[in-house]
Amino acid sequence: MLKMRFFINLLIIFLVISAIAVSTSAALAKESCVEVSGEASNALKDPGSSKMEATLRARMAAVDQVAGVDISSKTKVLNSELLDDIIVKKAKGVVTGFTLIDEKQNGDSYIIKAKICVEDSLLTDFITEVSRNSSVVVIVEFDNKNRLAPANDIVMEMIKTTIGNKLLDKEFNVFEEVTSSERSAKSDEKGYSEELVRRYMREYLANVIVLITVTGDTVVKQGDDIGYGLTSPFNTVKLWLNYRVFSNNNLTGKLQVGRSGSETAKETSPSEKDAFITGLEKLSRRISNKIVTIVSDTAKKSESRLKVKISGISPDQTLAIKSVIQSYPWVISVEEAAMDTFIVVYNERPVYLANSMANAGGFKINSFDGSSITADYIK
């Protein structure tokens, strides 16, 4: 009887503590609703994709505005799947409300305006998840007519260990994808699918895409006559690997090929597939250093240097203004050129920096072009 009473009392204490914890958590939770804009390129005249990208940018703008300077200055990279995984599942709804106010196409841009509510208490975990230096997508595409290509998970692991890890060491955020050339309509003139590359750029908001196309063929089959009355005890497979590194021109929105190259290899094995896998791994290792160098150079070239002149600030406010600008998404660095002038290194379209400054408050944008922004500081 005493034991039963003890457990009942223990249960009551537990329920009281739980109720207090829940009520405390509810009291601490705070939702902030802000009006923000999101803008995306519509150069391909694809309003659906552009609206999706603009919406993602608006959501990130809302998170930026609510979190303020606590957001890492490194690049924010999101795609629709990552947005769902982090915002809805991991962060349990850091963006808790979305109301579309307006949407319009303006030349090659698609712009939305929305009221977005953000849960303050969940921002820290969310920011940790999405802060990155930059995003690189490595796509391996097979011309697999002879059915020599291994399973996708084998290729993914191979690319991760040979190329992906080296890119991660350089602080890139890396996504690997494997596809088949049979599913992507190649341009006869270009030798690659521009639609495929642009699709991955849109989905990952990536600045750099590495497209690796692989073709393999059995040049000597087991049992083939190799002369002098002898037959081959092994299969010999030849592989052709082509790679291209793409970036998006931040000013024009056009896709451009930074660098390209090709490698070949021959491998011999009792199994054609084993020969293909060994050859692919060797080729991946052979090109890994080249790819990392090219990606780093391409990412560097995609950076813009913008002169930002802000009127109405005093010398003692310069450092604080610099910190605010540094906190915006896609800002690499901020240098003081004069008391009221900053040089901002930015690896996205310059219009997004002007948009961030206008949406975050504290600044009134007076003029903007591809290389400079002038603004008033609003006290």
Mind listing the pLDDT tens digit for each residue in 211-268? 999 999 999 998 888 888 888 999 999 999 999 998 876 656 677 887 889 999 999 9
Domain-by-domain residue ranges, the chain? 29-130, 134-301, 304-377
Mapped onto helix, strand or coil, the DSSP state of residue 358 is helix
Rounded to whole angstroms, how far apart are CA atoms 42 and 216?
A: 38
CB 292 within 8 A of CB 170: yes
C-alpha span between 9 and 4 (Å, rounded):
9
Q: How far apart are CA 263 and CA 260, in angstroms?
A: 11
Give the CATH number of domain 29-130: 3.30.1660.40
Q: Determine the pLDDT at residue 250.
A: 60
The reported pLDDT for the residue numbered 27 is 41
DSSP-derived 3-state class of residue 103: strand
Assess if CATH 3.30.70.100 describes domain 304-377: yes
Residue 14 φ then ψ, to 5° = -60, -45
Cα Rg of the chain (Å, integer): 27
Helix ranges (DSSP H) in 245-331: 272-301, 318-326
Work out the pLDDT band at 367, boundaries 50, 70, 90.
confident
Query: Which pair of structure tokens corresponds to residue 164?
Result: 């992906």
Q: Decide whether 29-130 matches 134-301 in CATH topology.
A: no
Residue 102 CA to chain centroid, in angstroms?
26
Q: What is the pLDDT of residue 75?
A: 39
**Residue 272 CA: distances (Å) to CA of 7, 144, 157, 159, 212:** 68, 13, 20, 20, 21
Structure tokens at 217: 């063929």
Report yes or no: 79 and 55 within 8 Å, Cβ to Cβ. no
pLDDT bin (cut points 50, 70, 90) of residue 185 is low
Which range of 155-169, 241-255, 326-340 scores highest in mean pLDDT? It is 155-169
Task: List, for residues 269-327, the tens digit of each pLDDT value.
Answer: 999 999 999 999 999 999 999 999 998 888 777 777 899 999 988 888 888 888 888 87
**At what angle are helices 47-67 and 123-130 packed, to 10 degrees?**
130
Give dist(CA 232, CA 176) in Å, integer: 37
- The band of 182, judged by pLDDT with boundaries at 50, 70 and 90, is low
Residue 133 CB: number of other CB atoms within 10 A?
17
Region of residue 323 (phi > 0: left; psi between -120 and 50: alpha; otherwise: beta): alpha
At 190, list the tokens.
């270009």
180: helix, strand or coil: strand
Q: Which of 189, 195, 157, 199 is nearest to 176 (CA)?
A: 157
Contact 263, 241 (CB under 8 A): yes
pLDDT of residue 43: 59
Q: What pLDDT is attached to residue 153?
A: 86
What angle is formed at CA 115 by the lines to CA 113 and CA 120, rounded to 5 degrees? 130
Number of H-type helices and E-type strands within the chain: 10, 15
Q: How far apart are CA 129 and CA 90, in angstroms?
A: 9
Rounded to an integer, what distance in angstroms lies between the CA atom of residue 16 and that of residue 22? 10
Q: What are phi and psi of 23, to 5 degrees?
A: -65, -35
- H or E element: which one contains 147? none
| Count of Cβ atoms closer than 10 Å to residue 208 Cβ | 26
Q: What are 97-143's pLDDT values in tens digits?
A: 889 999 988 877 889 999 999 887 776 666 555 544 467 889 898 88
Question: Tens digit of pLDDT for each residue in 75-88?
Answer: 344 444 444 445 44
pLDDT top residue among 252 and 15 = 252
Lowest mean pLDDT of 9-13, 62-66, 162-166, name the range: 9-13
Determine if residue 277 is left, alpha or beta; phi over 0 gives left, psi from -120 to 50 gives alpha, anything else beta. Answer: alpha
| Model pLDDT, residue 20 | 39
Q: Of 3.40.50, 3.30.70, 2.60.40, 1.25.10, which CATH number belongs to 134-301?
A: 3.40.50
Q: What angle do CA 179, 39, 252 make, to 5 degrees?
A: 70
